[in-house]
Amino acid sequence: MQIEIRGDKILWTIALTLGVIGLLVVYSASVGLVFRHHPDMPEYYLVKQGLTLLLALFLAYAIHFTDYRKWGPLFEWFWIGSVALLMYAFFRGSGAQRWVYIGGISFQPSELGRFSLMGLLAYRIALNPECTRTWQGLMPLLIRIGITFALIAPLNLSNGLLLLGTSALFLYIGGMSLIKLFRLALIGAVGVIVLFFTAPRARVWQQRLTSYWKKEPLHTQPADDYQRAHASLAVYSGGLWGKGPGRSTQRYYLPQSYS
């Protein structure tokens, strides 16, 4: 049976290589977690990640035969659906990352929101390349970016900033001038500063920033900074090349060794 693969072979190779490396990293980093939650099946997270990777490769292989231009209009509906899920997660989600559980499957709507927004921006810009050259043409895109950011950033500022950065890159590649981009960056910076002091997790972000700038020795760090302290020890003890697969030690002590 001959498998036909279209497109860039190098891109396929990179995706597959990263997927396999990810399997090894998950298997190594989840040792402490698996013995806490699944002691009877040490390979639980390896199997779970492997099945997820196979499903992703299968979907990518199936989709890459379709005409990508047909997917453009669907991103409008994908984005609307992701906004609805983000609103649900904002009020009813679980944890700081706001996970949503549906039918036994957990996921972060913020990832779906970012994906659908990028697809929507690409579709709109490809449909009308001139839209990035005037404020009138930009406004529908900026409104969608703003709505998505407003639902993600209050509880996950890093994801929100990543969303803004990626959106700015899309707009610039689409033909937006650096002057307009600079003006938007100033407006965005003001919004982020306001959010930094008023969001529900503002106190957590401020403590992290204070802890970082103080540069306290690891042995004097408070208990709520335990994760960062031991993560720093992991990087220090591993050096430039690390200790190698399966040889790490901090994974047994880090509360979130997989993060």
211: pLDDT confidence band, cut at 50, 70 and 90? low
More confident position, 189 or 195: 189
Q: What is the pLDDT of residue 96?
A: 45
Q: Where are the domains of the chain?
A: 1-66, 68-214, 216-252
Residues with Cβ within 8 Å of residue 245, at least 6 apart in sequence? 24, 28
d(CA 78, CA 76): 6
| Phi-psi domain of 118 (left: phi exceeds 0; alpha: psi -120 through 50; beta: other) | alpha
| Percent of the chain surpassing pLDDT 90 | 17
d(CA 254, CA 44): 19
Q: What is the pLDDT of residue 95?
A: 47
How large is the average pLDDT for residues 50-63?
A: 87
Residues 70-113 have pLDDT tens digits of: 888 888 899 999 999 888 877 775 544 567 776 666 777 888 88
SS3 letters for the chain? CCCCCCCCHHHHHHHHHHHHHHHHHHHHHCHHHHHHHCCCCCCHHHHHHHHHHHHHHHHHHHHCCCCHHHHCCHHHHHHHHHHHHHHHHHHHCECCCCEEEECCEEECHHHHHHHHHHHHHHHHHHHCHHHHHCHHHHHHHHHHHHHHHHHHCCCCHHHHHHHHHHHHHHHHHCCCCHHHHHHHHHHHHHHHHHHHHHCCCHHHHHHHHHHHHHCCCHHHCCHHHHHHHHHHHHHHHHCCCCCCCCCCCHHHCCCCCCC
Q: What is the pLDDT of residue 87?
A: 86
d(CA 236, CA 243): 11
Mean pLDDT over each residue of the chain, to the nearest integer:
79
Is pLDDT at 1 greater than 60 in this prediction?
Answer: no
